[in-house]
Structure 1
Amino acid sequence: MTVPRPEADAVDRRSLHERIAADLRDEIMTGDLAPGTGLPSTARLKERFDASNATVQKALHLLKEEGLVVGRAGAAVTVREHRQRTVRPAAYMAPARAGEPYRWLSEHARGGSRARSELLEVGACRPPADVAEALRTEAAGEVLRRHQLLLVDDEPVELVSSYYALDIAAGTAMAEHRKITGGTPALLAELGYPPRLSVDRVSARVPTQEQYRALRLPGGLPVLRTLRVVYSDDERPIEATVMVKAGHLYELQYEFTPE
């Protein structure tokens, strides 16, 4: 029988420059190194991490590739402004009012950002197994998928695939290759399927090739994958959406009301 090794004996097998970047990345994302703040000097970082100048520069290069800091060799390196975004899922659940844009777009507009979406593909497909289970679809059955890329200030930020049972989506605007005013939540409500409950399952994963290219991801950082299932009356699942975003640029904020 193999006895698990104590956590104290665990070895961090990453190279030193990756470990340095990881510690600095955490301080940037928690706000200890706020936007506009200069990083400690190379000399101080060398002393702190017992590293060579070249190793420190390799760590800073990783952070620059990720867009977390700016600066050039031999000059001060500064934490980049407005890189981390907070996603508030509760703000997007209710359908948009008549004539208003999809709530994801309006929420970003209120924050001073220019948000838009690119519809990449619409059509019937066999969904991933977890989506099929969520929609209570036959294992080999097809559903409708609307696949799009979301951009903020012309930067790709989220790859989204939304899936719908064919008996709900067939013959509606959802099945057409065009954008829907107010988004699909508004259309579903009009069709008699108002959202009553939204359930998120969030995981961190290594990005697929498509996700890596579409989101222009740096290095080997993970992505956040959210499977959101929306239920209507009688607890019927009406929409299952897979949302993938860069893990180092986002945090999710969930709001709860005690019962």
Structure 2
Amino acid sequence: MAFGDQPAYLRVADDLRKKITTGELPPHTRLPSQARIREEYGVSDTVALEARKVLMAEGLVEGRSGSGTYVRARPVPRRLIRTGFRDGDRSNPFRQEQADDRIIGTWESSSEREEAGREIALRLCIAPGERVMRTRYVFRAAGDAVMISTSWEPLAVTGRSPVMMPEEGPLAGRGVVERMAAIDIVVDNVTEEVSARPGRAEEVLTLGGVPGHSVLVISRTYFAGGRPVETADVVVLAERYRVAYHLPVR
């Protein structure tokens, strides 16, 4: 088998990857053994092992204790629809985040005060160390965790007000726009940035992924007259979602 100038383990991984993506090695099929890879590709045990590690890091295969390495079943990506603020479903944070009426979701949350780190302070236009309310959500569909969201609100804005705790008080569970309106703050703009990165161990474990999986991060910030009043990171497994934006034409 002739190969190009890539390192041998990447060339072997590339060929095996093609067999997986084309269906020659369908889901739940056992990956060729290390000895078989060595024989078929004319490479060393080290190269065969490294090639398998690449496929495992990419989430294409998974090891089963005492059984071997198997091709993973790849989920069909769902669209994560982003539409900005909607007047309906304001009492359902899951609806606000994923805006797909076909999915009935539940969520759990916890809030605590903390000092803003450098990144969050920059996003909120406050000094590092200023107090914020951090709220972490885990959203579930059919009982499975599908999304993690962490938000930060400056206590200089919400402190000692009825909306200081997003999930407690008279406006518990309401969206940012409605909660801020209750304390006479008009949210008039929102920005989002989408990025990808390797998932952190806790995130991947919570979302039911495999170590090494990548995640999509939607970093969202709400503004009132140019002042940030809330910023959040929405995290999903990259292999499960495609982010789709529905934006009005003005």
TM-score by length of 2: 0.68
Cα distance in 2 for partners of 1:11, 1:197 equals 49
After TM superposition, the structure 1 stretch with the greater mean CA deviation from structure 2, 182-191 or 140-149, is 182-191
1:136 aligns with 2:125: yes
**1:122-152 residue CA offsets vs partner (Å, 9 max, x unmatched):** 1111234322111111012221111111111
Say if 2:159 is the partner of 1:166: no
SS in 1 for 2:208: coil
Shift, 1:258, TM fit = 6.0
Gaps of 5+ in 2: 41-47, 63-67
The 1:41/1:12 distance shift into structure 2, 3 A limit, reads closer
What do you get for the CA RMSD once the two structures are aligned?
4.2
User: Residues 38-92 of structure 1: CA distance to partner in whole angstroms, max 9, x if unpaired?
Assistant: x44669x99xxxx66x9999969x5475xxxxxxx9xxx9966x741111221x4
Matched-pair contact (CA < 8 Å) for 2:82–2:97: no
In the alignment of these two chains, the number of paired residues is: 222
What's the secondary structure of 2:99's corresponding residue? helix
Paired position in structure 2 for 1:85: 78
Q: Which one has a larger percent helix, Structure 1 or Structure 2?
A: 1
Q: Deviations over 1:140-194 (max 9, x none)?
A: 2221111111111211111111111102222324426548243333212333333
Q: Is the 8 A contact 1:96 1:186 kept in 2?
A: no
Residue aligning to 1:214: 206
Q: Distance in 1 between matches of 2:215 and 2:7?
A: 24
Shift in alpha-carbon separation, 1:144–1:150, aligned structure 2, 3 A: same
Cα deviation for residue 220 of structure 1 reads: 1.0
> CA 1:181 to 1:124, structure 2 compared with 1: closer, same or farther past 3 Å?
closer
- Contact persistence 2:176–2:230 (CA under 8 A): no
Cα distance in 2 between the residues matched to 1:12 and 1:125: 49
Q: Structure 1 residues 176 and 247, CA, compared in 2 at 3 Å: closer, same or farther?
A: closer
Amino acid of the structure 1 residue aligned with 2:79: T
Distance 1:141 1:78, change over 3 A: closer
Is the aligned partner of 1:228 residue 2:220?
A: yes
Structure 1 counterpart of 2:228, from 237, 242, 249 = 237
Counterpart in 2 of 1:152?
A: 141
Give the distance between the partners of 1:192 and 1:143, measured in 2 at CA: 19
Change (3 A) 1:181 1:147: closer
Q: Per the alignment, do residues 166 and 18 of structure 1 end up closer, same or farther by CA in structure 2, a change over 3 Å counting?
A: farther
Residues in 2 aligned to 1:137 and 1:222: alpha-carbon distance in whole angstroms: 30
SS at match of 2:122: helix
In 2, are the aligned partners of 1:227 and 1:241 still within 8 Å (CA)?
Answer: yes
Q: How does 1:24-103 map to 2 (within 5 A)?
A: 39-40=23-24, 62-63=59-60, 83-90=76-83, 92-96=84-88, 100-102=91-93, 103=95
Query: Is the 1:229–1:237 Cα contact (8 Å) retained in structure 2?
Result: yes
Q: Please report how far the alpha carbon of residue 94 of structure 1 lies from its aligned counterpart in structure 2 after TM superposition.
A: 3.0
Seq. identity, %: 17
Aligned residue runs from structure 1 range 181-196, under 5 A: 181-196=173-188
| Shift, 1:105, TM fit | 7.3
Specify the alignment match of 1:252 in structure 2: 243
User: How far apart are the structure 1 equivalents of 2:89 and 2:145?
Assistant: 26
Once residues 257 and 16 of structure 1 are traced to their aligned partners in structure 2, the CA distance between those partners, rounded to angstroms, is 47
Q: Secondary structure at the match of 1:147?
A: strand
